[in-house]
């Protein structure tokens, strides 16, 4: 999973504000038919949640100048994908991102949302590992029966991946139910593991890098070992917002897609330098030290193009585990690549939101 995803979190992560802050200066009182605010120069304002000390792809897109008709309005930070997309579904924000299994579960709860672009995943450099102590007797999935696995939130990426690995290793649903999944803040996971409060700790990004460097732990498995290079999470919008603000959504997707592609094709040092610049310029009193732990984008498809398999995998998983009646959704009910300029299968964008040629940032 990428450094700037919402799954492997930072030591400086903050709680989501109890009350979302007011729109930034320059936002005018006028709004579109859906209630979306606009700036004085007519851009549609998209409220969103970020992550402390991290740079999201939309923030990168804004920095690179890839948006033409939308403006971002940061309203706080979150470390929970399910919470982030719930905020979008309830109108507290315009878009949010989460693990695709969580997106499907929210859609199944009668929330009319649609995934429009992938934004995090795993590859050989960016991944989450499920670690045990070096001298732990835990070697196999069966050894986890009756043991505790710590993760940042339940009902999202880590819960699904742990259960998937246990199932692949031959455990029955009843046996899987005996593995205790508990919430541990990412900043405390390594300590909880070393002190024996949990038996397995989920570690990614900076937390994995620093914990491994200190020694004394080993991976039981990783998400990359299960699916290889694979995108796990998507940004979603409410369906009514898409219907009433198609140009804004199209601009958001094309700009974010181009930012993802920029990260996929730009040397690591240059990406890190840009992230440090963004963090310093946005004035949130954040450290840029942890940006050095960025390894790779961790998004499988060019420009965040969503594949059917990245959705079908979790539809099938939920049906197999009795959490969603089989046939409730098809992948096409959950996502669209309609607005992504890379969806034609090429590795270069074909046009901007209104069909005009685009030029990449240098």
- Please state, in angstroms and rounded to a whole number, the distance separating the CA atoms of residues 252 and 257: 8
Minimal CA–CA distance to 166: which of 156, 180, 152, 154? 180
Instruction: Give the alpha-carbon dihedral of 259, 264, 270, 274, to 10 degrees.
Output: 30
Mention the CATH class of domain 128-227: alpha beta
Instruction: Tell me if 341 sits within 8 A of 351, measured CB to CB.
Output: yes
The residues near 34 (Cβ < 8 Å, ≥ 6 apart) are 240, 241, 244, 245
Structure tokens at 293: 């732990």
The segment(s) of the chain belonging to CATH 3.40.190.10 are 44-123+229-333, 128-227
- Please state, in angstroms and rounded to a whole number, the distance separating the CA atoms of residues 1 and 162: 15
pLDDT in tens, the chain (362 residues): 333 333 333 333 333 333 333 333 333 333 334 568 999 999 999 999 998 888 999 999 999 999 999 999 999 998 788 899 999 999 999 999 999 999 999 999 999 999 999 999 988 888 889 999 999 999 999 999 999 999 988 888 899 899 999 999 999 999 999 999 999 988 899 999 999 999 999 998 888 988 999 999 999 999 888 888 899 999 999 999 999 999 999 999 999 999 999 999 999 999 999 999 999 999 898 988 878 888 899 899 999 999 999 999 999 989 988 889 999 999 999 999 999 999 987 656 544 444 454 544 43
Mention the CATH class of domain 44-123+229-333: alpha beta
């Amino acid at each position: 999973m990428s450094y700037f995803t919402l799954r492997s979190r930072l030591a400086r992560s903050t709680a989501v504000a109890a009350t979302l802050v007011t729109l930034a200066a320059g936002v005018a009182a006028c709004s579109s038919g859906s209630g979306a605010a606009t700036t004085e120069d007519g851009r549609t304002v998209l409220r969103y949640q970020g992550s402390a000390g991290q740079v999201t792809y939309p923030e990168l897109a804004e920095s690179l100048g890839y948006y033409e008709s939308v403006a971002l309005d940061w309203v706080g930070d979150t470390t929970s994908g399910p919470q982030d997309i719930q905020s979008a579904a309830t109108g507290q924000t315009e878009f949010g991102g989460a693990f695709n299994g969580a997106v499907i579960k929210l859609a199944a709860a009668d929330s009319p949302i649609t995934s429009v672009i992938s934004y995090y995943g795993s590859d050989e450099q960016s991944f989450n590992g499920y670690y045990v102590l070096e001298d732990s007797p835990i070697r196999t999935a069966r050894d986890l029966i009756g043991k505790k696995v710590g993760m940042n939130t339940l009902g999202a990426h880590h819960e699904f991946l742990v259960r998937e690995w246990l199932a692949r290793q031959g455990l029955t649903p009843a046996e899987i139910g005996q593995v205790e999944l508990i919430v541990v803040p990412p900043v405390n996971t390594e300590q909880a593991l070393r002190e024996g409060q949990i038996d397995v700790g989920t570690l990614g990004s900076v937390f994995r890098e620093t914990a491994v460097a200190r020694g004394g732990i080993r991976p039981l498995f990783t998400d990359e070992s299960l699916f290889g290079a694979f995108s796990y999470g998507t940004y979603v919008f409410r369906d009514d917002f898409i219907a009433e603000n198609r140009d804004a959504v199209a601009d958001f997707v094309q700009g974010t897609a181009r930012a993802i592609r920029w990260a996929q094709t730009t040397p690591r040092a240059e990406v890190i330098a840009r992230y440090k610049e963004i963090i310093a310029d946005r004035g949130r009193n954040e450290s840029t030290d942890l940006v050095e732990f960025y390894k790779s984008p961790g998004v499988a498809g060019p420009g965040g193009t969503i594949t059917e398999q990245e959705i079908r995998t979790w539809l099938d998983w939920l049906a197999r585990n009795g959490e969603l009646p089989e046939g409730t959704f098809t992948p096409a009910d959950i996502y669209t690549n309609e607005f992504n300029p890379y969806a034609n299968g090429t590795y270069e964008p074909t046009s901007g939101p209104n069909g005009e040629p685009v030029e990449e940032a240098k």
